[in-house]
Amino acid sequence: MVAVSGKTISIFLDSREARARLRFALRVSVLLWAGALASWLTHADTAVFQNVETSRALLLLRPFCEGYSEWGLFIFYLPFMALLVLGMLAKNGPFRILGLAYVFAQLFGTVLLVHLIKLGSGRLRPQADHMQGAFFQVSHFAQAIHSSFPSSHAVDTAVGALFLAVLLRSRSASTLALAATLLMALSRIVVGKHYMSDVLAGLALGAAIVGIVMHVYLLPRWRKSETAPTH
């Protein structure tokens, strides 16, 4: 909540509006799953990778993409952790609920679920040179858990972006959040860490994780906070 000219204005949507946005996001995630499958079946993954590798323009962008790939995750980590801490200290219900929902989504979705899928897929990355060290050679587990499908960076940023896109009242802020995660997906392709289907599936999986956490944890509590008496 923020105060403007004596009035209290919420920076968040109410539960009904958020639910409508979430339904739209989940429909988009279905299209992303379909795109990932089509990219794999039609061998578009290989074609895109080869074009990226031979593109002079993208070669010039690679240093930026490497830096963003490394540090872009903190665009979401820091604000959500700040929301959680502020919510705990100031006893702000929406901030605390959103911060905890983000933590749950990251722990059980981006960390646990994604790495279980990686173990099952075992897909080699487009550029596998970074997996040729002694540690990876002696450990099949290490190779599997660092496999290409799905992109954990895409899942990670999609989780943060979708929470903000679904809940924030400001469309400009929501658009910037989505742009940040799309840039991460592109960066992972440019630096040769993932195929196109990896990042498309990662974005779709991130949306699915947000959908589950919001339905099971966040939205019921969001609705209760709206009806709670204010003092």
Domain ranges of the chain: 23-225
Q: Mark the ranges of the chain whose per-residue pLDDT is less than 50.
A: 1-9, 134-138
pTM recorded for the entire structure: 0.89
DSSP letters of 11-67? SB--HHHHHHHHHHHHHHHHHHHHHHHHHHHTTHHHHHHHHHHH-HHHHHHHHHHHH
Q: What kind of fold does domain 23-225 have according to CATH?
A: Vanadium-containing Chloroperoxidase; domain 1 (1.20.144)
In this predicted structure, what is the pLDDT of residue 6? 35
- Give pLDDT, residue 183: 97
Confidence at residue 142, expressed as pLDDT on a 0 to 100 scale: 64
Q: What is the pLDDT of residue 70?
A: 93
- The per-residue pLDDT for range 123-158, each reduced to its tens digit, is 888 976 555 554 444 456 666 677 899 999 999 999
Pairing of strands 7-9, 2-4: antiparallel
d(CA 206, CA 215): 14
Whole-number pLDDT of residue 1: 40
